């Protein structure tokens, strides 16, 4: 039962991923197709991470590997957050913001690789890249809503998919303080780490529910 609860977020994740696929069928704008690709990638990574933790770790390399699946998430850090950035890159109209995203993406990728090689092991939660990703995503989120405020055309916010996606990104950024402190909590206060983990799971369910709502909205082409 505990295993089921620990992975309950998979249900809203898969729902949001399946709903997002209609962005290709109904020819939604490019940012939503990119976001759909991101959700597909996240779903695949989460399934592989779960399978590794419970089944695959002792089937590879004559059982010499541990069930620690942190390395799977660490390997996904660069493509995951580059895809997030690219969604906003395709959304922004400002050339300055586009150039800023390009520079931030390159720096983030290089820093993440350097962090794994020289600072934090690939088998532990890489908190430093997560902190950087959180700062970048927070900046992009704020910049998106600022662009929305400056729009001359009046739109119904609750019917706009990108607004719901940005709400989800905001909640994701809010979970990063927990993720970046998890290594410390596991070493010093495991009971608090476990308690906060269940809160983290609940927030993840909210995030993927918000992404699902985004793709239940009307095609943004038809304003």
Print the domain residue range for 69.
2-214
Residues 6+ apart with CB under 8 A from 171: 203, 206, 207, 210
C-alpha R_g of the chain: 18
221 located within any domain: no
Taking a C-beta distance cutoff of 8 angstroms, is the pair 71, 58 a contact?
Answer: no
What does the pLDDT profile of the chain (223 residues) look like in tens digits? 667 778 899 999 999 999 999 999 999 999 999 999 999 999 999 999 999 988 887 777 665 678 889 999 999 999 999 999 999 999 999 999 999 999 999 999 999 999 999 999 999 989 999 999 999 999 999 999 999 888 777 677 788 999 999 999 999 999 988 888 887 888 888 888 888 888 999 999 999 999 999 999 988 875 5
220 located within any domain: no
Q: Tell which residue, 158, 177, 162, 167, has the closest CA to residue 207.
A: 167
30 located within any domain: yes
189 located within any domain: yes
222 located within any domain: no
Taking a C-beta distance cutoff of 8 angstroms, is the pair 209, 12 a contact?
Answer: yes
219 located within any domain: no
49 located within any domain: yes
223 located within any domain: no
Count of structural domains, the chain: 1
pLDDT at 154: 67
């Amino acid at each position: 039962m505990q295993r089921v609860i620990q992975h309950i977020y998979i249900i809203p994740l898969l729902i949001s991923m399946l709903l997002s696929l209609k962005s290709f069928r109904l020819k939604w704008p490019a940012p939503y197709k990119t976001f759909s690709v991101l959700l597909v990638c996240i779903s695949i990574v989460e399934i592989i991470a779960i399978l590794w933790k419970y089944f695959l770790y002792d089937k590879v390399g004559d059982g010499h590997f541990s069930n620690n699946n942190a390395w799977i998430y660490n390997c996904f850090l660069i493509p995951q957050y580059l895809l997030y950035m690219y969604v906003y890159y395709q959304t922004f109209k400002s050339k300055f913001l586009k150039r800023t995203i390009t520079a931030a993406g390159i720096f983030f990728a290089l820093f993440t690789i350097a962090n794994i090689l020289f600072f934090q092991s690939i088998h532990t939660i890489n908190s430093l890249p997560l902190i950087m990703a959180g700062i970048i995503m927070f900046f992009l989120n704020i910049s998106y809503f600022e662009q929305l405020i400056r729009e001359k055309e009046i739109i119904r916010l609750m019917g706009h998919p990108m607004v719901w996606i940005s709400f989800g990104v905001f909640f994701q950024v809010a979970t990063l303080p927990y993720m970046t402190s998890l290594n410390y909590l596991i070493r010093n206060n495991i009971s608090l780490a476990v308690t906060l983990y269940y809160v983290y799971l609940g927030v993840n369910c909210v995030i993927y529910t918000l992404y699902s709502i985004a793709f239940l909205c009307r095609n943004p082409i038809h304003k």
